[in-house]
Amino acid sequence: MNVSSPTSSQKPDSPEKTAAAASQANTITVLRPQHGLAALNLGDLWKYRELIYFMTLRDIQVRYKQTLLGAAWAVLQPVLQMVVFSMLFGGIAKISSDGLPYPLFNFAALLPWGLFSRAISDAGRSLVSNRNMITKIYFPRAVIPLASVLSGLVDFLIAFVVLACLLVYYHFMPGSNFKFVFSPALLALPLLLLLTLVTAMGVSLWFAAMNVIYRDVGYILPFITQLWFFITPVVYSSSEVTGNLRLLYMLNPMTGVVEGFRWALLGTAFSAGNWLIVSVVISVLVLASGWVYFRQMERRFADEI
Amino acid sequence: MSNKNTAQIAIRVENLGKSFKIGAAVSTQAASKYVSGYRTLRDDLADGLRRFRSGFSKDRQAEQAASTQFWALRGVSFDIQRGQVVGIVGRNGAGKSTLLKILSRVSDPTEGRAEIHGRVGALLEVGTGFHPELTGRENVFLNGAILGMRRTEIQRKFDEIVEFAEVAQFVDTPVKRYSSGMYLRLAFAVAAHLEPEILVVDEVLAVGDAEFQRKCIGKMSDVAQQGRTVLFVSHNMSAILRLTEETIVLERGKLAFRAPTNQAVDYYMSSGMAETADRKWLPEEIPASAAPFTPLALRVRDPHGLVVDSFRSLDPIQVEFEYRLDEPLTGLRTGIYLQTRMGEFVFTSFDTDSPEAFDKFSTRPAGIYRSHCTIPANLLNEGSFVLGVNASVYRIKRYFEDDKALSFNVDATGAPGKHWVEKRLGPLRPALDWQIERLD
């Protein structure tokens, strides 16, 4: 759709009419068949920023409704995961944790990973689960997956508080080999968080749009998330990956993010640091291509969902 | 066109068309439990293979494309001036919803163009985006934002909205605890306080009780009187007559007629007279959502069992509705609406109205059925009547509805009081058992 505002084709012939015309028809929307590449139309998304806010708020408010434990799930989910991984990989498999307490090593990675995996699985299905809105009213469709991704931030922040408690605990625990240091690296956290969101949004745009046309995506998504989990150093250290594979491995933006979180919070070596620029480039490419694909498919959503 | 005229136009539609692939539509209509409407990767791969085998012949592809395309709307052109209130009527599948979806930017046209001058508020459904877990207050803000209102605008109108909806004391209760009436009132109230230059409304009045409908119509006529442009789609002819000045009649995706409303309604209610008395439905007139219900035929017969379209007021009319169920349905009721040609409802009646039938047919197995009844003699006044059908499960789902399925004429020859030639008012002309007693 092309929206031109204010219109240039209107030349009211008297000043009185100018005011009248401006009040009733200051925008002309032209609806016509869309061929070729869709316009990127980011301005429309900005115009609907309040909707993004309310949709995010809705997703947050609804998330733990009708559950017995409510928002406690935001704490329990990552903590339980961390406990299981610590027993399996730290305790039984004795996987190297770069000399850190395994729970801490693992939890610092679970933060961004949890945000990411949750975002892509929620956002991937978001368009289909909001189909009644899509067939009934116009708004930029990207608002829906965007709100899904953003609503995960609340869980992230809650888990972050848990992590802070863990940091304090291991710092003061007698005999602990971990000492927390305030380093300037902490300032990189918001940027790493942004990188996580950008990657999650890019992947979500692809999956959400594809899911409208091919519901197969709903079935493939859990496998993809699982596979992605194992090619990201969440339960192990990326220093375990060596040789030619390593190059390929570093192409995964989440590797850089997870490594970066450990580096900033736990003071581990940031072997992926040199590669971070590659991570950034890749996630921006995923986001940009996701946006183009989404815009391209958007015109078919209402008819095919 | 001079600049002055351009400035007064609110909506200009030129040669607008929208087509769907029939393949997709057919699969939705056949929708058994396993065949759903959406495509899977497998379908596309299979299609690709088929196309590959057929050798990519251009002619063949074009031929295939033409045969698998269904035009829901085609070649529609009209202008609507600023401040006009225009109705759109048409049977199921005539393209009304498609037109509204294009004008409200929900879906793109396939050909032609439309120009919208000003901010559009589209009400294709009340309560879009309402979430049952959220409170009334939260839903008002969310729904307002979805409809395109600013937060400050919603804040300003919040009290007014809540007052209009009469839910003030429940405003912080999750809407899942609302009665359906409260829910609808709140949903409509938000929409009613939208202040677009152009309001596009679809069938919202089809929901809710009579009181609520009155309120909605009242609000709509307020909007109309404020000089805003309104495009109003409805099956409710009395609402169309009351609210709109001009009406557009759509037939099979084309603009069939446009005239001042009473003429247009008259045209609409009497159009299709030729195919009356024995009505069958084309596949594209049956929406996908009707499955597993398929209407087969609706007929009216005279006392001799002949299918005719004229009756005498003093004869009974046999009505029969045949349909097929592809799956068993529980709680199904099929029935008829009788309307006058001006769209006033005369009565509604369902085949399971009697408690015995209701119990006996609580679940209907798959199969072909005929529900039939008799409209008693000496009931209808002279004039044209329109018979509609409905197949639904109360409060669960409306499978099929065509409130204008066929029409027939009633001739009052020999009816009570016919020795006076005057026209009698009202749709009914019952033979009442008058007694005259002398009291002095």
Mark residue B378 as left, alpha or beta (left: phi above 0; alpha: psi -120 to 50; beta: remaining): left
Contacts of B107 in chain A (CB under 8 A): 299, 302-303
What tokens were used for B385? 């009547």
What is d(CA A21, CA A10) in angstroms, rounded to the nearest whole number? Answer: 9
One-letter amino acid of B360: K
- Of the candidates A194, A198, A201, the one whose C-alpha atom is nearest the C-alpha of residue A261 is A194
Mean pLDDT score, A23-31: 67
Mean pLDDT score, A84-109: 86
Asked if A223 and A291 touch (Cβ cutoff 8 Å), the reply is no
What is d(CA B18, CA B307) in angstroms, rounded to the nearest whole number? Answer: 37
B46-81: pLDDT as tens digits: 666 665 555 544 444 454 555 577 888 999 999 998
Closest approach of A265 to chain B, Cα-based (Å):
37
- Collapsed DSSP state (helix, strand, coil) of residue B333: strand
**Nearest CB partner across the interface for B118, out of A13, A25, A136:** A25
Top-confidence residue, A198 or B404: A198
Radius of gyration of chain B measured on its C-alpha atoms: 25
**CB contact, 8 Å: B106 with chain A?**
yes
Q: Quick check: B7 and A12 CB within 8 A?
A: yes
Contacts of B24 in chain A (CB under 8 A): 304
CA-CA distances (angstroms) from residue A274 to A55, A97, A259, A270, B245?
Answer: 37, 21, 11, 8, 71
What is d(CA B421, CA A88) in angstroms, rounded to the nearest whole number? Answer: 97
- Of the candidates A240, A278, A235, A236, the one whose C-alpha atom is nearest the C-alpha of residue A256 is A278
Top-confidence residue, A35 or B5: A35
Query: Considering chain A, what is the average pLDDT of its residues?
Result: 83
Closest approach of B204 to chain A, Cα-based (Å):
12
> In chain B, which residue's Cα lies nearest the Cα of A55?
B142
Going by C-beta distance under 8 Å and a sequence separation of 6 or more, which residues neighbour residue B344?
A: B237, B238, B427
A272-301: pLDDT as tens digits: 667 788 889 999 999 999 999 999 888 888
Residue A208, pLDDT > 90, answer yes
Closest approach of A30 to chain B, Cα-based (Å):
5
Chains A and B form CB pairs within 8 A to the count of 140
Query: Which of B:189-218 have CB within 8 Å of A?
Result: 197
Closest approach of A213 to chain B, Cα-based (Å):
6
Residue B271, pLDDT > 80, answer no
Kindly give the pairing relationship between strand B246-251 and strand B85-90. Answer: parallel
Contacts of B36 in chain A (CB under 8 A): 215
State the CB neighbour count (10 A cutoff) for residue A81.
Answer: 17
Domain boundaries, chain A: 42-304
Top-confidence residue, A198 or B408: A198
Give the model's confidence band at A5: pLDDT under 50 very low, under 70 low, under 90 confident, else very high.
very low
The residue assigned the tokens 């799930």 is: A73
Mutate one of A136, A214, A296 to test the B interface: name it (highest B CB count within 10 A): A136
- Based on DSSP, count helices (H) and strands (E) in chain A, helices before strands: 12, 2
Q: Quick check: B122 and A26 CB within 8 A?
A: no
Query: Considering chain B, what is the average pLDDT of its residues?
Result: 82
Q: What per-residue confidence (pLDDT) applies to A188? A: 87
Mutate one of B18, B128, B140, B149 to test the A interface: name it (highest A CB count within 10 A): B128
Q: Quick check: A51 and B145 CB within 8 A?
A: yes
- Highest average pLDDT, of A129-143, B191-205, B267-281, comes from A129-143
Q: Quick check: B142 and A55 CB within 8 A?
A: yes
Distance of CA A41 to the CA centre of its chain: 21
Q: Quick check: B4 and A139 CB within 8 A?
A: no
Q: Quick check: B114 and A51 CB within 8 A?
A: no
CA-CA distances (angstroms) from residue A163 to A141, A210, A266, B175?
Answer: 35, 35, 11, 37
**Nearest CB partner across the interface for A62, out of B36, B113, B133:** B133
Helix axes A253-266, A189-213, angle to 10 degrees: 150
- Of the candidates A303, A298, A304, A300, the one whose C-alpha atom is nearest the C-alpha of residue A140 is A298
Closest approach of A210 to chain B, Cα-based (Å):
10
What is d(CA A179, CA B18) in angstroms, rounded to the nearest whole number? Answer: 67
Q: What per-residue confidence (pLDDT) applies to B66? A: 52
**CB contact, 8 Å: B141 with chain A?**
yes
Radius of gyration of chain A measured on its C-alpha atoms: 23
Closest approach of B78 to chain A, Cα-based (Å):
14
What is d(CA B136, CA B187) in angstroms, rounded to the nearest whole number? Answer: 9
Contacts of A57 in chain B (CB under 8 A): 138, 142
What is d(CA B400, CA B353) in angstroms, rounded to the nearest whole number? Answer: 18
> In chain A, which residue's Cα lies nearest the Cα of B124?
A136
- ipTM of the shown complex: 0.80
Name the DSSP letter for residue A36: S
Q: List domains and CATH numbers for chain B.
A: 73-270 (3.40.50.300), 278-411 (2.70.50.60)
What backbone phi and psi angles, to 5 degrees, belong to B252?
Answer: 45, 50
Q: Quick check: B113 and A31 CB within 8 A?
A: yes
Q: SS3 for B209-237, per residue?
A: CHHHHHHHHHHHHHHHHCCCEEEEECCCH
Q: What per-residue confidence (pLDDT) applies to B124? A: 80
Q: Quick check: B41 and A21 CB within 8 A?
A: no
What is d(CA B74, CA B254) in angstroms, rounded to the nearest whole number? Answer: 6
The residue assigned the tokens 């009304």 is: B96
**Nearest CB partner across the interface for B118, out of A12, A24, A58:** A24
Contacts of B111 in chain A (CB under 8 A): 33
Name the DSSP letter for residue A92: I
